[in-house]
A = this chain, B = another copy of it.
Amino acid sequence: METYSAIATFVGAAAALLFAILTARKVLKASEGTDRMKAISASIRAGANAFLKRQYVIVSIFFAVVFAILCVMAAAKLLTWFVPFAFVTGGFFSALSGFIGMKIATAANARTANACREGLNRGLRIAFSAGSVMGFTVVGLGLLDISIWFSLLKFVFNLPANEITGAMITFGMGASSMALFARVGGGIFTKAADVGADLVGKVEAGIPEDDPRNPAVIADNVGDNVGDVAGMGADLYESYVGSIISAAALGVAAFGSFEALALPMLIAAVGILCSIIGTFFVSTKEGASQKNLLAALSRGTNLSAILIALASFPLVYFILGAAHWKMYFAILAGLIAGVLIGQATEYFTSDTYKPTRKLAASSETGSATIIISGISLGMLSTALPIIIIAVCVLVAYFVSGGAASASMGLYGIALAAVGMLSTLGITLATDAYGPVADNAGGIAEMAGLEKEVRQRTDALDALGNTTAATGKGFAIGSAALTALALMASYIDKVHSIEGGAEKLANLSLMNPTVLIGLFIGACLPFVFAALTMESVGRAAQSVVKEVRRQFHEITGLMEGKATADYAKCVDLCTKSSLREMVLPTIVAVIVPIAVGLLLGSTGVVGMLAGATASGFLMAVFMSNSGGAWDNAKKHIEGGAFNGKGSDNHKAAVVGDTVGDPFKDTSGPAINILIKLLSMVSIVFASLVVSFSLL
């Protein structure tokens, strides 16, 4: 059984990576177009590479310090010696996921623009293929990391099941920390560049978006890649790996067998194969409407989901045994919840539905009312996802036999998370396609391509906004389920430590340490959102000043006789976003340790529950408010409510500007925060059990 599982998992990982390589070669074969297009694409690539390179230097320092601390703890027998190395590999693979995704995205942008000169379907194929490379790299590397560690611990060190999962779960902390750096750093970069370019270029100087005279225009395009691609990749790598390993750990706790450990890995492997099949069904006809385009993408993801739903039944039935076939419904609940949350997000943020149209209408009475309406839209939109997750958790728990045995029920919740994330290969492909299309549009504009090309890239980009919104909903939903599974893993971990079980004896809400932990945990997403928003503000401020300076000092720039100093803006964004990403990350790492040492393990559990609940709400609120403002603005630009340039439009631009850090910096960063808190708590569990004050 163990050998077969290891092989099957490895085969799944290899299939994903092979598919990614073949798809990448297909993308790279396409032409980059004119010399001007090549040059622009090269600048974007150079900027993105420079950012990542410097980011990795800073991150390496952090990893070196934590590695050293973990080694000291291992020497003090507070950890096994596997932990420091697992930590580093988790970070390495997470970074690699983001890096490869960013490489292919920056290689595909000019190619997509060029393909759009031939036709819409051709453009869609290139952009979606680039997205697929990213999606399958993430799942492939995730499963590869898992299969290597599993084989090593099982076949080389010959550890029992519970020690294997205990060691493996700690590479989640490496992945989470890397993801947080990527998300926060990239998120600040992209929004600082975007806000800076818009405020001075569009609003003050009155030149169009993506105009080559704007010094921040390259930085803006770089931002799409480092934020939306590299950040997103690292984020979902982490959810993916975290959900599989915590399910494996909880499976061991519930069944004590290798079968329960292997099931989540096998579901993931099967999910990869089903997702690959799905990608072949994504294509459209020439002259397709936006609806057709969306249908093309949905066809792929829906088909994959159905295939997984069919394939996982025999998996559960034969691996867990006939007595536990009902656990299949936990996986199904997760799959369905993922789809539903995506649809709920679309309903609240797409201008084809009432909420965003009403939001656009509130621009009639100015910017204050559109802000109030957008905030209340976002807050109201939290109810539906909460109910979806609630039903999913209850179903997963009780069908798995939670009423008789809590550990069975918790395993069921973790399986739901695995089920939801099993479609990740293709879901991420549709999501990562957006920034590629966005960049392609920018290149078409800057290179002065024909008008119909820009129209085609705009069609692809508009669709990208919808897939980005559903993708965000999916990311948040899966993060919440994963966080719950990790919380259960934390408790499992503490129980495995000597003296840990007594420390956790009273997890009741009436225990004041639990309650206080809950309050502090619930507060963290608020503080985190505030810190990241302020960072964007400060970074954007510096970009605004630089763009103003260039407009002022470079003679002939506005007349198109001189070129702007793009590199300076890229450099500025890089420096300020990297400086700003450090504090939030350190807060996220230190708080759970501090809470543990002061309030004990029960306080940590309270903190994790509070952070997950309030983090989920804040992330949904901020993403949906931001998405709705963005689309309300686009709706007005499309001609509604007096159209572009009207007072309504000005009000909508204010809404969109407020929404930018909401949806692209703070909201997504909270996703990672809630997982990182659990990961840190798990790694430092024995420290807390040994030295806590209460």
Contacts and interface: CB of A to CB of B under 8 A. Distances in A.
A283 to B, nearest CB: 40
Given A365-B541, A512-B402, A617-B614, A520 B379 contact: no
Interface in A478-497: 484, 487-488, 491
A391 to B, nearest CB: 9
A199 B610 CA distance: 40
A510 B529 contact: no
A373 interface: yes
A617 B526 contact: yes
A658 interface: yes
B522 A522 contact: yes
A166 interface: no
A220 to B, nearest CB: 17
Contact of A533 (B367, B376, B409, B527): B376
A15 B199 CA distance: 62
A369 interface: yes
A64 interface: no
B373 A537 contact: yes
Interface stretch (A174-182, A380-388, A465-473): A380-388
Which of A368, A389, A394, A661 has the most chain B CB within a 10 Å cutoff? A368
Interface string A631-661: 0000000000000000000000110011001
Contacts of A609: 509, 515, 518
B382 A523 contact: yes
A362 B658 CA distance: 13
Contacts of A254: none
A204 to B, nearest CB: 10
Given A365-B541, A522-B614, A491 B507 contact: no
A348 to B, nearest CB: 11
B527 A379 contact: yes
Interface string A67-101: 00000000000000000000000000000000000
Nearest to A606: B509
A152 interface: no
Interface string A362-376: 100111110111011
A371 B373 contact: no
Interface in A491-520: 491, 507-516, 518-520
Contacts of A365: 199, 541, 544
Given A367-B654, A510-B410, A519-B390, A376 B529 contact: yes
A617 to B, nearest CB: 6
A512 B371 contact: no
A377 interface: yes
Contacts of A484: 515
B617 A512 contact: no
Given A365-B541, A367-B367, A383 B527 contact: yes
B373 A512 contact: no
A531 interface: yes
A397 B511 CA distance: 10
B654 A617 contact: no
B368 A657 contact: yes
Given A508-B507, A520-B386, A530 B380 contact: yes
Given A371-B658, A519-B390, A526 B379 contact: yes
Nearest to A616: B519
Contacts of A410: 510
Contacts of A513: 394
A613 B519 contact: yes
A368 B393 CA distance: 39
A394 B512 contact: yes
A534 interface: yes
Nearest to A526: B379
A413 interface: yes
Contacts of A527: 379-380, 382-383
A91 to B, nearest CB: 28
A510 B406 contact: yes
A588 interface: no
A150 interface: no
Most B CB atoms within 10 A — which of A513, A527, A544, A606?
A527
A544 B376 CA distance: 20
A621 interface: yes
A71 B533 CA distance: 52
A365, A509, A653 interface centre (most CB from chain B within 10 Å): A509
Interface in A617-637: 617, 621
B375 A537 contact: no
A564 B567 CA distance: 61
A274 interface: no
Nearest to A541: B365
Contact of A371 (B366, B382, B654): B654
Interface string A529-562: 1110110110001001000000000000000000
A378 B529 CA distance: 11
A334 to B, nearest CB: 15
Contacts of A386: 519-520, 523
A48 interface: no
Contacts of A397: 512
A605 interface: yes
A516 B605 CA distance: 15
Contact of A523 (B383, B522, B529, B654): B383
A537 B201 CA distance: 33
Given A368-B654, A516-B390, A537 B362 contact: yes
The 4 A-B pairs of least Cβ separation, nearest first, read A368-B657, A380-B530, A379-B530, A376-B530
Given A382-B526, A519-B613, A610-B613, 18 more contacts: A369-B537, A371-B654, A378-B530, A379-B527, A380-B527, A380-B530, A382-B523, A386-B519, A387-B520, A390-B516, A397-B512, A410-B510, A507-B509, A509-B606, A518-B518, A526-B617, A614-B614, A614-B617
15 contacts: A199-B365, A199-B366, A365-B544, A371-B654, A372-B536, A373-B534, A375-B658, A379-B533, A382-B527, A394-B512, A491-B510, A509-B605, A522-B613, A522-B614, A610-B613
Interface of A: 199, 362, 365-369, 371-373, 375-380, 382-383, 386-387, 389-390, 393-394, 397-398, 402, 406, 409-410, 413, 484, 487-488, 491, 507-516, 518-520, 522-523, 526-527, 529-531, 533-534, 536-537, 541, 544, 605-606, 609-610, 613-614, 616-617, 621, 653-654, 657-658, 661
